Structure 1
Amino acid sequence: MEFKETQPIYLQIADFVCEKIISKTWSVGQRIPAVRELAVLLEVNPNTVMRTYEFLQQKDILYNQRGVGLFVSPDGPKNALEYRRSEFMQKEMPSFFKGLQLLQMDLDDLEPLYKKYKKQNA
């Protein structure tokens, strides 16, 4: 995983975990990789992964089964989607809209491109 300098690493890992849940790679009730496992996979400090997991537990995306591990919570997919949408709207959309305005484009210009993208990536 390549990390950006513009966002804390633990939040980028949270995005990665949410993506796995939203895409159904990790399903409700499924045990997710242990802290050390994910740290090795992503080549980060285990404390960073622990911080990510604590953050996602606060958001009710993951839950801890003491002595067993971390699992995707029953509301995990819904909460992960809400979290990612909120982050997208707050962090990425303003820059995107600024670009549209600068280039004198509107949403009608994007619709055929978006439809094409969805068709190719279905």
Structure 2
Amino acid sequence: MDFKATKGIYLQIAENICNQILEGKLKPDERVPSVRDLATELEVNRNTVMRTYSYLQAEEIFENKRGVGFFVASNAIALIKDRDKNAFFKNEFPVLLEKIKLLKLTTKDFKQIIEALKLND
């Protein structure tokens, strides 16, 4: 993982974990790596990973089973999608719409972009 200074490391780790859940690399009801193991893998302090896990637990994306470890919540995918969708429409979409207006983009422009993307696949 390549950490950026614009966002807390624990939040970047949480975002990465949520992306892994959405990609199917971590599945609902599956045990996640221990705090110690993930800290070693990412080369960060264990307290940082614990803060990540606590944050994801507060967001109800993780469940902590005492003595066993942290697990992906059964409804984690729906929670992540809903949270990310709301954040997108609140934070990113208005900026995107403003840029579309400034550039006076048309549906023809979007069709050309979509076709170009299809050719690159």
Asked whether the 8 Å contact 1:15–1:84 carries over to 2, the reply is no
SS in 2 for 1:64: strand
In the alignment, structure 2 segments of 5+ residues that lack a partner are none
Per the alignment, residue 45 of structure 2 pairs with 45
Residues 31-70 of structure 1 mapped to structure 2, 5 A cutoff: 31-70=31-70
Asked whether the 8 Å contact 1:18–1:81 carries over to 2, the reply is no
SS in 2 for 1:63: strand
State the Cα RMSD in Å: 2.4
Residues 96-111 of structure 1 mapped to structure 2, 5 A cutoff: 96-106=96-106, 109-111=109-111
SS in 1 for 2:4: coil
In the alignment, structure 1 segments of 5+ residues that lack a partner are none
Per the alignment, residue 29 of structure 1 pairs with 29
CA-CA distance at 1:3 after TM superposition: 1.2
Q: C-alpha separation between the residues in 2 aligned to 1:25 and 1:68?
A: 20
Residues 55-94 of structure 1 mapped to structure 2, 5 A cutoff: 55-94=55-94
> TM-score, normalized by length of structure 2?
0.81
Higher deviation after alignment, 92-101 or 43-52: 92-101
Asked whether the 8 Å contact 1:38–1:49 carries over to 2, the reply is yes
Number of positions where the alignment pairs a residue of Structure 1 with one of Structure 2:
121
Per the alignment, residue 18 of structure 1 pairs with 18
Higher radius of gyration, 1 or 2: 2
Structure 2 CA distance for partners of 1:98 and 1:2, relative to 1, 3 Å: farther
Q: C-alpha separation between the residues in 2 aligned to 1:6 and 1:107?
A: 34
Q: C-alpha separation between the residues in 1 aligned to 2:107 and 2:13?
A: 31
Runs of 4+ residues over 2 Å off in structure 1: 83-121
Q: What percentage of aligned pairs have identical amino acids? A: 38
Please list the CA deviations of residues 32-61 of structure 1 after superposition, one character each: whole Å capped at 9, or x if unmatched.
111111112222111111111111111111
